[in-house]
Structure 1
Amino acid sequence: MAGFTDATQVRTTGDGGFDADLDPVWTVGGKPNGGYLLAVLARAAIDSAAAHPDPLSASAVYLSPPDPGPAAVTAEVLRTGRSATQVRTRLSQKDRTCVEALFTLGTLAAATAPRWVDAAPPPLPAADTLSPTPAHAPGSGLHIDMLDQIDQRIDWKSVGDPPGELRGWLSLPDTPWDPISLLFAADAFPPATFTLGSNGWTPTLELTVYVRARPAPGPLRVRQRARLLTEHLVDQVCEIWDANDHVVAQATQLAAYRMPPT
């Protein structure tokens, strides 16, 4: 078991290759969380492009869920410019490609008030008035190991107002948030479809994250909302504010979902 920083480290093997050890505690139902995997790939991308230390954007497709344990990562620098570097990465396990991602890397400043933003931070009760989400999902038999490592506090009283939306707080108890861990934060909340009656596994097919600034110390304010449900797919948006109520990350995700039999 390792903290987030240690659990996402990679070791270079030369020629754009890296070794990674996928930690079993950063999992949902025994499979590594998609945002955690994106952070592992970000480490390799940054190690391959020393000129730019921060992920500005990341877009990943999830082909096959890996298991905890050893994995191989490759990183290919596509372009290096004055303000940004683009890198293609791939995570494989047992000769099977599991995740591919494209990164735009740059240098981020601390979050400040934006010139314009289309939505204010959502209202939330104080974090200490909400209960931490338990690692055992009630009634599902599913153990979410990563919830033993983070402090997630959802405002369940606000669920349904508006429909398809979850709001709450998120903290890494032993590590301050940074641009790489924000990639994980963008995929750390339950699927918004749970507020609309879905159940069971909700696998991510594609995840795109924009990291906008370095967050101030303290918990993150998170809003996750479903935008469109078709028969088996949902696209949902995650918006993240730091402790000073400045936007620090945004994400869009396409996922599969299940509804109980009618």
Structure 2
Amino acid sequence: MSTTTFAAVSAVKRRSPDGFDADISPQWTIGGKPNGGYLLSLIARAAVAEREHPDVLAASAHYLRSPDPGPAEVEIETLRTGRGSSQVRGRLVQNGKTAVEALFTVGTLAEGEPYWQDGLPDPRLDVEPSFRVPGTTPLGLPVAIMDEIEIRLDPDSARVFTDGPSGRGELLGHLTLPGGEPFDPVSLLFAVDAFPPATFDISPSGWVPTLELTAYVRAHPAPGPLRVQHRAHLITDGRVDESCHVWDSTGKLVAQGTQLAGIRL
């Protein structure tokens, strides 16, 4: 069980007008490698620090190399400051080498109901799931991050860990931060990359490292666990593209993401 919060492990400390110090937690890792959404959230904390526009609206990150847990630096560059939104570039640097390069659009999220929304959460997400994702993958890779967060899968998705893949390439379930900490726009960047690879429902594999991740944050979520639908679309040439839709406890779409990842089946 976690003894800290996501806000604490993703915190950054300003050391210059455009530079921040960060500490990558060893607990937010898969096989000793930091989760990609977690690293993006670290950079986002710096990107919105003390800005007129406090919320991340969109983010796109490329993962050049996997940093190690421990001290790192975040460098921020303002590309444009606008009335309704601004664009910011961020880099996560460790030992003088860039590990993650990201671009952000930041602004202020509006409240209220959407004018139009494509689709509602899968009805299976309305049922409180009971199966909690364990701290090891189907092939035995240690996943320390699962001792921090709580992911509970619906019965069909849980069979990936009990009976093997179904071949659908889809995982459905609920996501909770340590201690039930409320989600905010920055932690939603982690949410779109929090679930196990949807490829587990196709074939067991080892680490599935994120190469590129794009996320849209659509609204401030209501309190409570998030409802997540994670899908794999195409596996070819040692790469897979996945999509993730995230709804809050009221059924409002609050974030969505797509990513390209490496995979060895």
In structure 1, the residue matched to 2:147 is 148
- Residues 11 and 45 in structure 2, CA contact (< 8 A), matched pair in contact too: yes
Cα distance, 1:2 vs. partner? 3.3
- Residue 260 of structure 2, aligned match among 245, 254, 258: 254
CA–CA distance in 1 between the matches of 2:9 and 2:191? 15
Cα distance, 1:173 vs. partner? 3.7
CA–CA distance in 2 between the matches of 1:143 and 1:242? 29
In structure 1, the residue matched to 2:223 is 217
Unaligned runs of 5+ residues in structure 1 are: none
TM-score, normalisation: structure 1: 0.92
- Residues 129 and 155 in structure 2, CA contact (< 8 A), matched pair in contact too: no
In structure 2, the residue matched to 1:14 is 16
The residue identity in structure 2 corresponding to 1:237 is S
Shift >6 Å, 4+ stretches:
159-162
Cα distance, 1:81 vs. partner? 0.7
In structure 2, the residue matched to 1:244 is 250
The residue identity in structure 1 corresponding to 2:219 is A
TM-score, normalisation: structure 2: 0.91
**Could you tell which deviates more after superposition, 59-68 or 122-131?**
122-131
**Could you tell which deviates more after superposition, 238-247 or 156-165?**
156-165
In structure 2, the residue matched to 1:185 is 191
The CA RMSD measured in Å over matched residues stands at: 1.7
Q: For the structure 1 residues 220 and 125, does the alpha-carbon distance in structure 2 shift closer, same or farther, using more than 3 Å as the test?
A: closer
CA–CA distance in 2 between the matches of 1:221 and 1:129? 10
In structure 1, the residue matched to 2:64 is 63
SS at match of 2:244: strand
SS at match of 2:131: coil
The residue identity in structure 1 corresponding to 2:29 is T
**Could you tell which deviates more after superposition, 18-27 or 129-138?**
129-138
- Residues 169 and 201 in structure 2, CA contact (< 8 A), matched pair in contact too: yes
CA–CA distance in 2 between the matches of 1:136 and 1:227? 24
Q: Percent identity?
A: 54
